């Protein structure tokens, strides 16, 4: 295990993948529920730490994505951890508005496998068409 880095080198302590990304599991602090799995690059992690709000790297948009920038459902950071291999992050957040998923659900993990069928187990809390701006 590498020696603990200085405060200026904390971001390089992490084991970034070939695309210079790291997976991030986001957990709601109040409920303990896993809200999403996303990705960060160095810029996203640095901005997350600087602002206290979750900022991810959107692979589909190919840009930084400040969670809540369109929906208003910001994620306020309570804690950031890395695992023993330093190749993934766990962030605990206070989820604004109770909706983390672009489908209008509390969590992105709303499908459960039962008898080899995916079943929706969480309701839509708000119609996504009412949450997101039309492009």
For residue 92, what is the domain's CATH number? 3.10.20.810
Could you give the 3-state DSSP secondary structure of residue 126? coil
> Which residues constitute the domain of residue 120?
17-131
pLDDT at 72: 93
Whole-model pTM: value is 0.89
pLDDT at 135: 47
Does residue 75 lie within any of the structural domains? Answer: yes
Structural contact between residues 91 and 77, judged by C-beta atoms closer than 8 angstroms: yes
pLDDT at 46: 97
Does residue 1 lie within any of the structural domains? Answer: no
In the chain, which stretches have pLDDT less than 70?
1-8, 133-135
Question: Beta strand pairing status for 22-28 and 89-95?
Answer: parallel
Does residue 9 lie within any of the structural domains? Answer: no
| Cα–chain center distance at 82 | 14
pLDDT at 132: 82
Token pair listed for 78? 């309570």
Provide the domain count of the chain.
Answer: 1
Phi then psi for residue 94, to 5 deg, are -100, 115
CA pair distance 115, 23, nearest whole angstrom: 29
Residue 18's contacts (CB-CB under 8 Å, 6 or more residues apart) are none
Does residue 105 lie within any of the structural domains? Answer: yes
Does residue 51 lie within any of the structural domains? Answer: yes
CA pair distance 125, 54, nearest whole angstrom: 21
pLDDT at 1: 58
Token pair listed for 65? 């994505």
Does residue 56 lie within any of the structural domains? Answer: yes
CA atoms within 13 A on the CB side of 67: 34
- The percentage of residues in the chain with a pLDDT greater than 90, rounded to a whole number, is 89
């Amino acid at each position: 295990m590498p020696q603990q880095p200085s405060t200026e080198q904390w971001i390089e302590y992490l084991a970034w993948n070939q695309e210079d990304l790291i997976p991030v599991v986001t957990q709601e602090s109040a409920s303990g529920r896993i809200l999403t799995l996303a990705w960060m690059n160095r810029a996203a992690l640095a901005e997350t730490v600087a602002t206290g709000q979750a900022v991810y790297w959107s692979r589909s948009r190919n840009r930084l994505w400040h969670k809540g920038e369109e929906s208003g459902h910001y994620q306020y950071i309570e804690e950031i951890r890395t695992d023993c291999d330093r190749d993934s992050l766990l962030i605990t957040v206070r989820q604004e508005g109770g909706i983390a998923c672009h489908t209008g659900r509390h969590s992105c993990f709303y499908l459960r496998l039962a008898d080899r069928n995916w079943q929706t187990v969480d309701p839509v809390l708000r119609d996504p068409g009412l949450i997101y701006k039309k492009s």
